Homo-oligomer: A and B are copies of this chain.
Amino acid sequence: MELHFLGTGAGLPSKDRNVTSICLSMPQERQAVWMFDCGEATQHQLLYSPLKPGKIEKIFITHLHGDHIYGLPGLLSTRSFQQSDLQLEIYGPLGIKEFIEVSLRVSGSNVASSLIIHEIEPGRIFEDEGWKVDAIKLSHGIPCLGYIVEEKAVQGELKVEKLRHMGISPGPIYRQIKNQEITELPDGQQIKRSDVVGPDKPGRKIAILGDTTYLPELKDNVEGADILVHESTFSADEPEMAKAYGHSTALQAASLASNANVKKLILTHISARYHQDDAQILADQARSIFPETELAEDMRVFDIPKNSSDS
């Protein structure tokens, strides 16, 4: 499972950074890509990544500013041209449906059949056996969301040695013991699952926030995340500017990461005012209070390993 940064700039594309898009390549069993925001030329960035438009299963839009959505019509057209048969669901604030539908209709694109668009409010927006996604409210002048993606806990491993000592040899019985709270053996012996199965392995948690002013109250939402992706449009010395424009500083992002005990903070949405080396200053500012900080770059990929049960 990996997080791919396709575009990491703020507002306008530059030679260094494209406008926002991030992809989460889901674990192997799912074989799918979840995208977060889709600024103009996101499909161009995909040409330089191992990810394929046809594998995109969900697109989560944080807000409707152009640098987060203007790549959608082109990506959807290209995806349909490649005749992907994977259904695509798009989640975003009110208005996303009109933008997509008008763009596709006017240009004579025919992708509607495999497309579902959800105009959402904060809350649980998706859940299946393995994953759940919550949208949380941010503060950016227009409706803006963050997405908390959580993998459900996975059952611990069977204590095979203990079972052998109890005289129970491997076989179909092992599956029964794992699936039932109590399993009765042919000889009448009762096996309690909790005695022979290790503790649950916690799932992964990835918090990807859209543009926002500093909101310390998000601590509970992002608590313990494996990765927190937070915007860092301004440097630590411009908190007033950041607030006035609905953005955060690098230090504010680090404060949230620190208070919420996340494992790693990734700064993105970097203003074109900060060229290559200057942008590292943002990361340095954040590291002063939260050392596990990384600076996103276009096409940079972060691995998100499975949690072990003792972590």
Residue A11 lies at the interface, judged by CB distance under 8 Å to chain B? yes
A44 to B44, CA, bound (A): 10
Interface string of A42-73 (1 = CB under 8 A from B): 01100110000000000000001111011101
Residues of the B chain whose Cβ atoms lie less than 8 Å from the Cβ of A43? 13, 40
State which of B15, B44, B71 has its C-beta within 8 Å of the C-beta of A47: B15
Residue A84 lies at the interface, judged by CB distance under 8 Å to chain B? no
Interface size on A, residues (CB 8 A): 36
**Contact stretch, chosen from A101-109, A194-202, A224-232, A263-271:** A101-109
Interface string of A280-308 (1 = CB under 8 A from B): 00000000000000000000000000000
Q: How far is the CB of A128 from chain B (nearest CB, A)?
A: 30
Q: How far is the CB of A67 from chain B (nearest CB, A)?
A: 8
Binding site for B on A (CB under 8 A): 11-15, 18-19, 40-41, 43-44, 47-48, 64-67, 69-71, 73-74, 77-78, 81, 95-96, 98-99, 102-103, 106-109, 142
Given A13-B47, A47-B13, A108-B142, A66 and B70 contact (CB-CB distance below 8 Å):
no
CB-based contact B70/A12 at 8 Å: no
Q: How far is the CB of A296 from chain B (nearest CB, A)?
A: 19
State which of B41, B70, B102 has its C-beta within 8 Å of the C-beta of A102: B102
Given A47-B13, A142-B108, A73 and B78 contact (CB-CB distance below 8 Å):
no
Residues of the B chain whose Cβ atoms lie less than 8 Å from the Cβ of A142? 108
Q: Which of A13, A64, A66, A108 has the most CB of B within 10 A?
A: A66
Across the interface, name the chain B residue whose C-beta is closest to A109: B66
Q: How far is the CB of A20 from chain B (nearest CB, A)?
A: 12
Given A40-B40, A40-B44, A40-B70, 19 new contacts (CB under 8 A): A13-B44, A13-B74, A13-B78, A40-B71, A41-B41, A44-B44, A65-B108, A66-B73, A66-B77, A69-B106, A70-B70, A70-B74, A70-B77, A70-B103, A96-B106, A98-B102, A99-B103, A99-B106, A103-B103
CB-based contact B65/A107 at 8 Å: yes
Across the interface, name the chain B residue whose C-beta is closest to A73: B70
A77 to B19, CA, bound (A): 13
A14 to B81, CA, bound (A): 14
Across the interface, name the chain B residue whose C-beta is closest to A11: B81
A67 to B71, CA, bound (A): 12
CB-based contact A64/B99 at 8 Å: no
Q: How far is the CB of A210 from chain B (nearest CB, A)?
A: 14
Across the interface, name the chain B residue whose C-beta is closest to A81: B12
Q: How far is the CB of A35 from chain B (nearest CB, A)?
A: 16
Q: Which of A40, A65, A81, A95 has the most CB of B within 10 A?
A: A40
Across the interface, name the chain B residue whose C-beta is closest to A18: B44
Residues of the B chain whose Cβ atoms lie less than 8 Å from the Cβ of A69? 106-107
Residues of the B chain whose Cβ atoms lie less than 8 Å from the Cβ of A15? 47-48
